Amino acid sequence: MSIRRFWSSPKTLGDVTIVTEELKNLYYKRLLPIEKHYSFHHFHSPSYEDADFDNKPMVLVMGQYSTGKTTFIRYLLEEEFPGSRVGPEPTTDCFTALMYGEEERVTPGNAITVDPKKPFRNLDPFGNSFLNRFQCVQMPNPVLESISIIDTPGILTAAKRKLSRGYDFQAVLRWFAERVDRIILLFDAHKLEFSDELTRAFGALYGYEDKLRVVLNKADRVDSQQLMRVYGALMWSLGKVFRTPEILRVYIGSFWSEPRQRCDHYKLIELEEEDLLTDIRNLPRNATVRKLNDLVKRARLVRAHAHIISHLKQEMPTIFCRESKKHNLIYELPVIFTKIQQQHRVPAGDFPDCTKMQEKLLGQDFSKFKTLKPSLMNSLNKLLTTDIASLVPLFQQQEQRKKSLPAVLDGEFLGTFRRDQFKGDPFKEMLKDDEISEADSDEWVVEKYKPKYDEIFYNLSPHDGKLSGTKVKEWMTTTHLPNSVLAHIWRLADVDRDGMLDNEEFALAVHLIEGKLDGHWLPRELPSHLVPPSKRLNTSSSAPA
């Protein structure tokens, strides 16, 4: 079975497509008319387009420079991507959208914003200064078949705060925060610093804390005592910035494909890795729920906005003292918010940020504002009370269907050593009927290294010529490679899928481990020249004619 068949196909998720189409119809029929009537996009975010409903779940990766953002993405994809550079200095100076494509291609920002099939058309107002630093990379990576990833420029530290980006960095972050499904915020465990730009970037995430996942990266580079102190300092700093009753979840990890340093909290890093990757893995399943949630939040904001605009219009004089009255109304906006809450029973949490709304109102002509239109408000109320409720049965059908679906991304990079989660395979039960093509030659590249590999094999005391998964697991973990990497190596090496390794399969596993330790990328599927000679006949004869 090919890796692409392991992923959820649109045909299998037909009910998800139906829900998405219903959400799209509700937006265009109920919400968009009132947004246009009260000029919602002049104050808040632009209107939705088809691509905003149809696009795959997106993950926004952000953090200060040298916290491992690009390395984290490479860890997920298990390969390089065009334009990626890694270093201690600021190396990522642009926003990069990583999306699936049959061929590798890089599209500049000005071109991608005119593509109606991509969800980036509304980035155009940020101008050339931003678009020149935005690009879309398409590549045939299996992970990108179900999610898209947004790499961001490193947030400047205090030493770099005087530098100007030439565009509104916080506004761009907020644009993406509104549209993505998950926000990954990385910190360096041995270089924790909160700069002015980082604090302002947090401001762009207000209201989207539910999407935020904080990662304390490079945790294997500090000892347990230092980690405890850094973790406490990070939680204290985050508590000052995000003033919410809920505590943000902070994952402790070391997200790259190289060997980790052995430390007292090594097991904790492995468990935290599993939790975060599980969260990312489930994004495609929860995509429609997120779209519904965002639509409801937007509808509530539109309702509050309509009442604000209508109230300002009613309070404006017809002829005299209009400018002074305008400034008085802007100054009294907090009081107006309270009046609207009491008169129209609009929850306080539905209102926009008062300070930002005051800033937006300064440049507006109040005479062009419009009063409440009953038909539009009735349509909006119907959306919130009746139409959304009618979609609940469809969501229940989707939940039932999801239980039988394979875990998206699970076989790709989520390996585990927990005994209760595998049968025969100590890392994770992977694809079971992979097709491996017949070798083009009789030469096996591992053969010349096999004597030293056999010495390790027989020292592990094989039974009936094979090593059990438990013994192989114990030896493999001494390499300090991440579980996800070892899981992929196990899947490649266990050619006959019997949950054990003979001497040839073990030699292949050690060969792949040495290649990984030397800095090479692992193959997605086992190439023909790496298939053990004794397995070539079996794999070729089992392949369909």
- Reading the block at residue 330, the tokens are 């802007």
Give pTM, 2 decimals.
Answer: 0.71
**pLDDT digit string (tens) for 458-468?**
999 988 999 98
Domain 426-534 has CATH 1.10.238.10: yes
Q: How many Å apart are CA 344 and CA 364, to the nearest integer?
A: 24
- Is pLDDT of 107 > 60? yes
pLDDT at 429: 34
The 3-state secondary structure of 294-354, one letter per residue: HHHHHHHHHHHHHHHHHHHHHHCCCCCCHHHHHHHHHHCHHHHHHHHHHHHCCCHHHCCCH
Task: Give the percent of the chain with pLDDT over 90.
Answer: 30
Half-sphere exposure of 399 (CA within 13 A, CB side): 7
Dihedral angle sign, alpha carbons of residues 69, 56, 421, 437: negative
Q: When comparing pLDDT for 257 and 405, which is higher?
A: 257
- Give the Cβ contact number of residue 163 at 10 Å: 10
Q: Which one-letter DSSP state was computed for residue 473?
A: H
- Is pLDDT of 544 > 90? no
At 396, the pLDDT band (50, 70, 90 cuts) reads low
Which CATH number is associated with domain 11-43+297-414? 1.10.268.20
Contacts of 92 (CB under 8 A, 6+ apart): 65, 69, 70, 84, 85, 151, 152, 153, 154
9-36 average pLDDT score: 75
Same fold, 11-43+297-414 and 56-263: no
Domain ranges of the chain: 11-43+297-414, 56-263, 426-534
538-542 average pLDDT score: 48
pLDDT at 419: 31
pLDDT at 163: 58
Q: Domain 56-263, what architecture?
A: 3-Layer(aba) Sandwich (3.40)
Contacts of 226 (CB under 8 A, 6+ apart): 189, 190
